[in-house]
């Protein structure tokens, strides 16, 4: 595969350390701790019709991740919001559309900053702040109507999964397992209990109840954790967070993935075996419809 030269990178807008520039012109030091150690955190915020989706929840998780790394949040909520809105508008202009016609993903990354290579969490550094946006690619109509295939694997990643860290080599390895198998995602287990997928949360539906792993250090609490609970409550669907066994996952009536780009997506094939009836189920249909309504509510 031929990688693009710097001059071939998109001429789309981004923000780096206080300045707005084109993505192809943005540069950081080779001694940035994000580059050397993966010493940083990130967030990905969906944008529908030019409007940020659950921005406050994303900012809260960003602050939690930064606190775990002992990095002070370099910007206020209002400043993050202002940067995001400008990038949304600038991206729409650069692509010849309007913000109202544009579904995007805002990517935010903060690293500890630049220093000579040394492992300790060095104090007094100026964090590197990078924000970019690009078009959102949502699941296809076929994936929604037929569901997707996933494979399973042991969760070999570290035990601080609650931090949305830029150290993503574990996720790269786990996602490659599904790529090699021709599947969409890798659903992982710590021992005999469900953790999450390589870049998604996983939900088990049984007898009309939606269940997910508990919020702890073994799972990244996706922003859709709260949203799915809210949607279940509104639809009077039972909802529970607890340890879920491998057996329960394979015995599910429905399996669902959730993430910023997948929204809610049905899994109908797991390790070559049909999930439930092998087609997207009624709970998925309800949650997908509720999710689309939550998006529409952004413009009301």
0.85 exceeded by the pTM? yes
CA dist 16 and 14 (Å) reads 7
Q: What angle do CA 75, 77, 79 make, to 5 degrees?
A: 55
CATH class name, domain 6-135: alpha beta
- pLDDT value of position 299: 66
Confidence of residue 8 (pLDDT cuts 50, 70, 90): low
DSSP string, 191-208: TTEEEEESSSEEEEEETT
CA dist 145 and 258 (Å) reads 16
Interacting residues of 290 by C-beta distance below 8 A, sequence separation 6+:
231, 234, 235
Q: Over the stretch 145-161, which tens digit does the pLDDT of each residue have?
A: 999 999 999 999 999 99
Q: Indicate which residues carry an active-site annotation.
A: 164
Q: Is the pLDDT of residue 205 over 50?
A: yes
Confidence of residue 220 (pLDDT cuts 50, 70, 90): very high
CA dist 276 and 250 (Å) reads 9
Tell which residue, 152, 151, 115, 108, has the closest CA to residue 130.
108
CA dist 34 and 58 (Å) reads 20
Between 183 and 299, the higher pLDDT residue: 183
- pLDDT value of position 2: 45
Determine the CATH number of domain 141-299.
3.20.10.10
Confidence of residue 95 (pLDDT cuts 50, 70, 90): confident
Q: Is the pLDDT of residue 31 over 80?
A: yes
Q: Domain residues of the chain, as ranges?
A: 6-135, 141-299
Query: Do residues 278 and 146 lie in contact, with contact meaning Cβ atoms separated by under 8 Å?
Result: no
Confidence of residue 199 (pLDDT cuts 50, 70, 90): very high
Q: Is the pLDDT of residue 287 over 60?
A: yes
């Amino acid at each position: 595969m031929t990688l693009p030269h710097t001059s071939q990178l998109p001429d789309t807008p981004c923000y780096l350390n206080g300045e707005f520039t084109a993505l192809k012109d943005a540069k950081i030091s080779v001694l940035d701790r994000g580059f050397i150690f993966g010493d940083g955190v990130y967030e990905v915020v969906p944008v529908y019709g030019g409007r940020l989706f659950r921005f406050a929840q994303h900012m809260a998780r960003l602050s939690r991740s930064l606190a775990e790394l002992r990095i002070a949040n370099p910007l206020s909520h209002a400043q993050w919001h202002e940067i995001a809105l400008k990038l949304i508008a600038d991206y729409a202009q650069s692509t010849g559309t309007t913000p109202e016609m544009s579904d995007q993903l805002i990517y935010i990354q903060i690293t500890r900053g630049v220093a000579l290579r040394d492992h300790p969490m060095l104090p007094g550094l100026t964090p590197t702040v990078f924000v970019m946006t690009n078009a959102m690619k949502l699941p296809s109509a076929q994936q929604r109507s037929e569901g997707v295939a996933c494979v399973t694997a042991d969760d070999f990643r570290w035990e601080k999964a609650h931090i949305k860290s830029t150290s993503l080599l574990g996720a790269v390895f786990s996602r490659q397992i599904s790529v090699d198998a021709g599947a969409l995602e890798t659903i992982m287990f710590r021992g005999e209990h469900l953790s999450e997928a390589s870049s998604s949360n996983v939900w088990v539906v049984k007898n009309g109840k939606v269940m997910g792993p508990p919020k702890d250090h073994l799972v990244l609490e996706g922003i859709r954790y709260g949203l799915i609970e809210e949607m279940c409550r509104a639809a009077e669907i039972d909802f529970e967070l607890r340890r879920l066994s491998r057996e329960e996952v394979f015995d599910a009536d429905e399996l669902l993935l959730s993430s910023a780009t997948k929204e809610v997506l049905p899994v109908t094939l797991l390790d070559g075996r049909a999930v439930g009836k092998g087609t997207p189920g009624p709970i998925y249909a309800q949650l997908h419809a509720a999710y689309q309504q939550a998006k529409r509510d952004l413009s009301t």
